[in-house]
Amino acid sequence: SNTKHFHFNVEWKSVTRLCHRKAVLTVNGEYPGPTIAVHEGDHVRVLVTNRVATNTTIHWHGVRQERTGWADGPAYITQCPIGAGKTYTYNFSVANQRGTLWWHAHFSWQRASVYGAFIIYPRTPFPFSAPLQAHIPLIFGEWWNGDVEVVEKEMMLHGGGPNTSDAYTINGLPGPLYPCSTKDTFIQTVEPGKTYLLRLINAALNDELFFAVANHSLTVVEIDAAYTKPFTSPAIMIAPGQTTTVLLTADQAPVPGDDSKSMFVMAARPYLTSVFPFNNSTTVGFFKYQTSTEIQENSAIPPPFILPNNLPALGDTPFATQFLGSLRSLASDDYPCNVPKTIDKRIVTTVSLNLQDCPLNQTCKGYLNKRFYASMNNQSFVRPSTSILESHYRNLSTGFSTDFPDNPPYVFNYTGVNPVTENMSAEFGTKLFRVPFGTKLEIVLQDTNFLNPENHPVHVHGHNFFIVGRGFGNFDVEKDPKGYNLVDPPERNTVAVPMGGWAAIRLIADNPGVWFVHCHLEEHTSWGLALGFIVENGKEPSQWLLPPPSDLPPC
Ligand code: C2O
């Protein structure tokens, strides 16, 4: 195998969007950050130098980090942050994984601007036959005119919105629907008749998105770096943390010389927003057909356009449900689906927003003049001030306990008239659960959220999982498992738990270490919608967590 070296300098860079110029935290001055492209089986070394006055860490979202939890990145879970002026080398392999992933900062809200694509080229040919003209990463993000650190502090203090971003972006560009942004529009040239692999990544902080291209359909071939049975859809839904790789064929007949007939709009907008009032603004880019009579190759001025009529509307739950329900693992001889048919342990956990009294002399923005916070099984996760992985490795239990409850403390009733119940409170702490190496684990994620209409995209570090079931209402432990898909369930690292419903995931806990599980809506993670789990070492030395690297940052 080959070793690929990268240098990441975390540094400020002045960036202008929407006519607001501000210092943006970046990697190597790039916004969005550089693409990492490696091959399956490669060894990756990324030397990160922190050139700013604040702490930082980088997470390789979806990279399994087999036995190398030290390189996973979430601050205070697997490492202490990289301090001002310090360096740390993330050292890991990408074996038996291929496809579209991404990387992002995993310290406070830095991932608002510190993110990029992480692409693993497969060792063997793609399982789909279309000859590809090019691979195009399309990363969705959010832009704030203000300082994101201030937005984060405000949200923690007052426990609620509005703290919406000022624009959604495609590859860092908002597009013509936002003020002052026509020149900041993403335009991708395509050749008529050719097929492109679009690597879609949702790096937005707080919003699940719909995406569509006018007059073109999209064929989904891979999600979260796992191949799917190909299926064609007029649009896609993608939650923060997720990736979706699709084929797009430039099959329209362009009219040479007429921009309005040779440029096709692509657009992304939220499924639901995390705060009121709804912000339904839309980021727009274009696929521009290359035609023979073209004089000016780079006309960056978008033509008049209308939004694609195949773009689902805000709140289109039927589309979201149908799209997510259509995803299936490829489950072929070459790429078998290793979903555990039986389980050793089941955890049923709520994913919930909660309400807390407002601090004296403050105004709160959650609900009923209270502040929001969040929890799983009424445990609101607090990050410790030391690294849990380090404590675990040294057999210390400083900063955490391993008594995360297996079941919710209260029974939830979705048909009740008054949503504000005992479920609205939770205790603060750092609770994990612990499983032996090789445990076949099922986690049922039960939404309880009456206060805020929201899907929760829950991300598991260190493992891929299979989404064996999803449904609305209360999970029924007797009935619902009978309807599980144990043949070709979708394999992912981030699952969108339906609003007012549940999702059941299965995984084999075969990666020794400490792993973070959290809602990938940044606001909810900050409020405590998270837990951790420890996978013990196996019997064989090849099933042990590797020793910590010598340059691991201290706290
Ligand atoms: Cu993409 Cu814990 O993160």
- pLDDT tens for 64-84 read 999 999 999 999 999 999 999
Residue 339 lies in a domain: no
Binned at pLDDT 50, 70 and 90, residue 274 comes out as very low
Which ligand 1 atom minimizes the distance to the CA of 241?
A: 1
Determine which residue's CA is closest to atom 3 belonging to ligand 1: 61
Distance of CA 73 from the midpoint of ligand 1 (Å) = 9
**88-139, pLDDT tens digit by residue?**
999 999 999 999 999 999 999 999 999 999 999 999 999 998 799 999 999 9
* Cα of 251 from ligand 1 centre, angstroms: 36
Q: What confidence category does residue 49 fall into, taking pLDDT thresholds of 50, 70 and 90? A: very high
Where is pLDDT greater, at 484 or 355? 484
pLDDT of residue 129: 82
* Predicted local distance difference test score (pLDDT) of residue 275: 44
Residues whose CB falls within 8 Å of the CB of residue 396, separated by 6 or more in sequence, listed in order? none
Three-state SS across 28-63? CCECCCCCEEEECCCEEEEEEEECCCCCECEEEECC
Single out the residue of 543, 515, 477, 484 nearest to residue 106, CA to CA.
515
Q: Which of the listed residues 125, 142, 159 is the one where a domain comes to its end?
A: 125
Ligand 1 atom closest to the Cα of residue 240 is 1
Q: In terms of domains, do 474 and 525 share one?
A: yes
Determine, yes or no, domain membership for 337: no
Which of 233, 247, 291 has its CA nearest to residue 131? 247
Closest approach atom of ligand 1 to CA 461: 2
Type of residue found at 536:
E
pLDDT in tens, 140-193: 999 999 999 998 988 888 887 656 789 999 999 999 999 999 999 999 999 999
> How many angstroms does the Cα of residue 517 sit away from the middle of ligand 1?
8
pLDDT bucket at 369, cuts 50 / 70 / 90: confident
Residue 479's pLDDT is 97
Listed range (40-54, 268-282, 498-512) with the worst mean pLDDT: 268-282
**Which atom in ligand 1 lies closest to the alpha carbon of residue 74?**
2
Q: Model confidence at 450, in pLDDT bands (50, 70, 90)? A: low
Ligand 1 mean position, distance from CA 59 (Å): 7
Is 353 in the same domain as 481?
Answer: yes
Pocket lined around ligand 1, Cβ cut-off 6 Å: 59, 61, 74, 104, 106, 241, 459, 461, 516, 518, 520
Distance 397 CA to ligand 1 centre (A): 24
DSSP one-letter string for 116-177: EEEEEE-SS--SS-PPEEEEEEEEEEEE-SS-HHHHHHHHHHH-------SEEEETTB--TT
Residue that terminates a domain, selected from 125, 160, 189: 125
Report the alpha-carbon distance of residue 534 to residue 391 in Å, rounded. Answer: 11
Is the ipTM beyond the 0.85 threshold?
yes
pLDDT at res. 360: 81
pLDDT of residue 545: 98
* Exposed e or buried b per residue across 172-208, where buried means at least 16 C-beta atoms within 10 angstroms of its C-beta: bbbbbbbeebeebbbbbebeeebbbbbbbbbbbbbbb
Q: Determine the average pLDDT of the residues in 281-296.
A: 78
For position 295, what pLDDT does the model report? 47
Q: Whose CA is nearest to atom 1 of ligand 1?
A: 61
Greater pLDDT, 390 or 292? 390
Together in a domain, 96 and 159: no
- 298 pLDDT higher than 90: no
Backbone angles phi, psi at 156, to 5 degrees: -70, -40
**pLDDT for 500:** 85
d(CA 495, CA 477): 19
Point out the ligand 1 atom lying closest to the alpha carbon of residue 73.
Answer: 2
CATH number for the domain including 103? 2.60.40.420
Cβ atoms 408, 350 nearer than 8 A: yes
pLDDT in tens, 18-46: 999 999 999 999 999 999 999 999 999 99
pLDDT attached to residue 423: 67
Average pLDDT, integer, range 336-364: 92
Please give the pLDDT value at position 136: 97
pTM for this model (two decimals): 0.96
Q: How far apart are the first and last CA of the chain?
A: 34
Domain that holds residue 120: 1-125
Q: Tell me the per-residue pLDDT of 512-553, one tens digit each, with 9 for 90 and over.
A: 999 999 999 999 999 999 999 999 999 999 999 999 999 999
Q: How many CA atoms lie within 13 A of 296 on its CB side?
A: 6
- Least confident range of 90-104, 303-317, 439-453: 439-453
CA of 44 to the centre of ligand 1 (A): 19
Number of domains in the chain: 3
Query: Residue 413 Cα, ligand 1 centroid: separation in angstroms?
Result: 31
Tell me, in angstroms, the distance from the centre of ligand 1 to residue 310's CA.
Answer: 30
pLDDT-based confidence at residue 506 (cuts at 50, 70, 90)? very high
- Per DSSP bridges, beta strands 530-535 and 432-435 are parallel
The Cα 463–Cα 514 span in angstroms is 11
Q: Which atom of ligand 1 is nearest to the CA of 516?
A: 2
Q: Specify whether 56 is located in the same domain as 135.
A: no
162 and 294 assigned to the same domain: yes
Same domain for 110 and 85: yes
Q: Tell me the average pLDDT of the chain.
A: 92
Checking if the pLDDT of 302 tops 80, the result is no
Residues 313 and 353 in one domain: no
Would you say residue 294 lies in a domain?
yes
Residues 6+ positions from 247 with CB-CB distance below 8 Å: 128, 130, 132, 195, 196, 197, 198, 218, 219, 221, 230
pLDDT at 449 over 90: no
Distance between alpha carbon 225 and the CA centroid of its chain, in Å?
Answer: 13
Nearest-CA residue for atom 2 of ligand 1: 74
Q: Which of 125, 160, 186 is the last residue of a domain?
A: 125
- Please, is 245 exposed, middle or buried when counting C-beta atoms within 10 Å of its C-beta (0-12, 13-18, 19+)? buried
Q: Can you give the pLDDT at residue 420?
A: 55
Q: 277 and 288 in one domain?
A: yes
Same domain as 176, residue 112: no
Does the pLDDT at position 503 exceed 80?
yes
Q: Are residues 71 and 146 in the same domain?
A: no
Maximum Cα–Cα distance for the chain, whole Å?
70
